[in-house]
Amino acid sequence: MQPDAPPLPEIDFATARAMLEWQIELGADEAMLDAPLNRYELPVPVPAKAVAAPAAAEEAPLPASAPVHAVDPVAVAETLAAGAQDLAELAAAMAAFEHCELKRGARNFVFADGNPHARVLILGEAPGREEDLEGRPFVGPAGQLLDRMLAAIGLSRTAPDPAAAVYITNVLPWRPPGNREPEPAEIAMFRPFIARHIELVDPEIVVLMGNPACMAALGQRGILRLRGHWAEAFGCPALPMAHPAHLLRNPAAKREAWADLLALRARLDG
Ligand code: URA
């Protein structure tokens, strides 16, 4: 605490615990700093010129009545994504994208993991706590289950051989607070980046893990209905599957997940 901060009122254990639980319910499940910081008193950041708007829109003078932030994040994302010539450029463009508020609360940008030459690309949801800390997708409990599921059909994110490898990325590269589901506007603004990501990796098959991935790729949710049915997404055959986090909460759903893994293996072998 700062030396000149007023003394904290004394509170009993039960009240302190109730206040902490309330914070956690709101999604504030981690201490970021030792002392409170009033973010309303910070200067408003000026958006970086390179990502403020597509060049043509930037040059057009705005009418006097136009709101200052009349930038369409989806249009900006489309321009940035189209300009990325390889995965490194795409990662740099996404990391510089300033129109998603999640960036301000996240510790790390989480782009992808695995072999970019893999036959299979897995599209997850968003980083959780462990992924946010490490800057890599699927490294927490759901990721460990995912690794075991993939190993059961001879696939791995560390395999150098593209035939046995997977490439893993998420709908969002920033952790949503409290691990809430991505909002439709967030999915919409990252969709151009996902499309370009898949175009650059050019996999044979895309696996859509959970509802947000199905929303981004197919414009539909209802994973328990969609799972196991081959679809087409971003020009590739796509297999919706239950998310491993769902399987951790509902072990009975592992039987269907196993059937979906076998369908994936059969398609790769066929
Ligand atoms: N869940 C996801 O969908 N992605 C991650 O990276 C981690 C957990």
Residue 135, domain member (yes or no): yes
125 lines ligand 1 (CB under 6 A): yes
Q: Residue 146 belongs to a domain with what CATH number?
A: 3.40.470.10
Is residue 89 in some structural domain? yes
Query: Could you tell me the distance, in angstroms and rounded to a whole number, from the CA of residue 126 to the centre of ligand 1?
Result: 5
Examine residue 152 and state whether it is found in any structural domain, yes or no: yes
pLDDT of 22 reads: 73
Mean pLDDT computed over every residue of the chain: 88
Which residue do the tokens 């189209």 mark? 82
Q: Comparing 1 with 179, which gets the higher pLDDT?
A: 179
Q: How far is the CA of 121 from the centre of ligand 1 (A)?
A: 14
Residue 129 Cα to ligand 1 midpoint, Å, equals 9
Q: What is the pLDDT of residue 46?
A: 53
Average of per-residue pLDDT across 55-60: 41
- The reply to whether 34 falls in a domain is no
Q: 86, 69, 102: which is closest to 185 by C-alpha?
A: 102
Amino acid, single-letter form, for residue 168: I
- Would 141 be classed as within a structural domain? yes
Give the least confident one: 4-13, 50-59, 149-158, 230-239: 50-59
Q: Which domain holds residue 94?
A: 73-269
Q: What is the pLDDT of residue 50?
A: 41
Pocket test for ligand 1, best of 170, 180, 186 (most atoms within 8 A of CB): 170
Residue 137 beta carbon below 6 angstroms from any ligand 1 atom: yes
Instruction: List all residues 6 or more positions away from 170 whose beta carbon is below 8 Å from its beta carbon.
Output: 110, 123, 124, 125, 126, 127, 137
pLDDT of residue 4: 62
The predicted pLDDT at position 48 comes to 46
Cβ(169) – ligand 1 distance below 6 Å: no
Ligand 1 centre to CA of 76 (Å) is 25
Query: Rounded distance, CA 270 to CA 265, Å?
Result: 8
- Span from the CA of 144 to the centroid of ligand 1 (angstroms): 10
**Binding site membership of 131 for ligand 1 (Cβ less than 6 Å):** yes
Instruction: Among 102, 111, 125, 208, name the best residue to mutate to test ligand 1's pocket (greatest count of ligand atoms within 8 A of Cβ).
Output: 125
User: Looking at the domain assignment, is residue 233 inside a domain?
Assistant: yes
Per the domain annotation, does 32 fall within a domain? no
- What integer is the mean pLDDT of 35-55? 54
Task: State the closest ligand 1 atom to the C-alpha of 171, by its place in the atom list counted from 1.
Answer: 3
pLDDT at 127 over 50: yes
pLDDT at 110 over 80: yes
Q: Is residue 258 a part of any domain in this protein?
A: yes
> How far is Cα 16 from Cα 20, in angstroms, rounded to an integer?
6
Q: Tell me the pLDDT tens digit for each residue of 153-183.
A: 999 999 999 999 999 999 999 999 999 999 9
Is residue 212 lining ligand 1, measured as CB closer than 6 Å? Answer: no
Strands in the chain per DSSP E: 112-114, 120-124, 166-170, 205-209, 231-233, 236-241
- What ligand 1 atom has the least distance to the C-alpha of 209? 3
Q: What's the rounded mean pLDDT across residues 71-82? A: 97
Number of separate domains in the chain:
1
pLDDT beyond 60 at 49:
no
Residue 70 Cα to ligand 1 middle (Å): 32
